[in-house]
Copies of this chain bind each other. A is one copy, B any other.
């Protein structure tokens, strides 16, 4: 099945090279296709690493190993396999990953734990060790390539290549951040999954990089949803080569820490939103802004309940300002709420305030807003200061077609 490009796609941005980061791609042919499906990122000595991983209780070997590796905070290489997630494959899957780590570390003269491996694609089929061995040998000697080639090579059912760029001034030094991501929601046919990577030439101590990534994740990747299905392989890794030459950022007191944190969060937000824009069957990009909650985390949960509700998502697909369905979704979130203080709006127009429909509510501007491709849905709980924004897409016939009509 050939998927057409999402109507919400954005063009791949101009992105600079990052000193200490070299990209290469090769064909391992993990599936019967003729495309690059093996990505190798070489990282200079002294690169700090941080990562966030799926909460799944059935995570892949790659995720289990990554959770351990990240504790050491040091990276020299990233390998991404596309077409096979290697999840639910028992000891045979683990052997394939360990083989890759050994092969790359031997070539590079580093520790195996400095080689991070991600895999994405079909589940339950061990990654073929022979193809991996040959593919890795090829990719180690391949010519360097650009960001868009790498973004294409890590993709599976994505309909467009996804990248984002940011920069931060640290003292007088300009640092760059470049990220690539793949995913069509948390999910896709054959369990394709969200994998994201951010590279920077900034010099950040590993523990602080992890702290910053955790913070960025809470406001970005953890605030998107396509259908609430969490994959076994979701991974976001951040690598900082330190080549920019400024004094190392050790903690919040280091000069430039705030600027870098803001840039990292911005790049993560761009990447996260690109995944939603490629959500399966998506025709509308929806920002759910929640305010007046008990606290920020409560606001995020309410936002996710609204964003995951099939009734809300189908209503927006149908361009129907059905705020009753939003009330329902708020009510089921399991978070503190007061029916008689709840307000709901679309495109900046309140449809209901303080628990009752707005008198003389004019639906015309709302109907016009809902015809667009970028939808703003506002929920004010009216009980506190907590706020969060969650991004999602609508639920359409396209989603059913991709996931039910075609056998994977």
Contact = CB atoms under 8 A, between A and B. Distances in A.
B58 A314 contact: no
A218 interface: no
Contact of A356 (B90, B191, B311): B90
Interface in A306-362: 308-311, 314-315, 317-318, 320, 322-325, 327-340, 342, 352, 355-357
Nearest to A337: B57
Contact of A399 (B308, B310, B357): B310
A230 B124 CA distance: 34
A311 B122 contact: no
Interface stretch (A43-51, A102-110, A400-408): A400-408
A382 to B, nearest CB: 12
Contact of A230 (B328, B338, B342, B406): B328
Contacts of A324: 87-88, 122-124, 190-191
A397 interface: yes
A56 interface: yes
A214 interface: no
Given A123-B324, A311-B403, A230 B397 contact: no
A121 to B, nearest CB: 10
Interface string A137-167: 0000000000000000000000000000000
Contact of A311 (B229, B308, B340): B229
A404 B400 contact: no
Contacts of A232: 327-328, 331
Interface in A45-67: 54-59
Interface string A170-196: 000000000000000001001100000
B400 A339 contact: no
Contacts of A59: 331, 339
Given A232-B328, A328-B56, A322 B356 contact: no
Interface residues of A, number: 69
B356 A403 contact: no
A58 B337 contact: yes
B403 A314 contact: yes
Given A357-B124, A408-B322, A340 B90 contact: yes
A168 interface: no
Contact of A407 (B87, B190, B318, B334): B318
Interface in A371-408: 394-397, 399-401, 403-408
Interface of A: 54-59, 87-90, 92, 122-125, 187, 190-191, 227-232, 308-311, 314-315, 317-318, 320, 322-325, 327-340, 342, 352, 355-357, 394-397, 399-401, 403-408
19 contacts: A54-B331, A55-B334, A57-B332, A57-B338, A58-B328, A58-B330, A58-B342, A59-B339, A87-B324, A123-B328, A229-B309, A229-B310, A229-B311, A229-B328, A229-B329, A232-B327, A314-B400, A314-B404, A320-B408
Given A59-B339, A88-B356, 16 more contacts: A56-B332, A57-B338, A59-B331, A88-B357, A89-B356, A90-B355, A90-B356, A124-B327, A228-B309, A229-B311, A230-B332, A232-B331, A314-B399, A314-B400, A314-B403, A320-B407
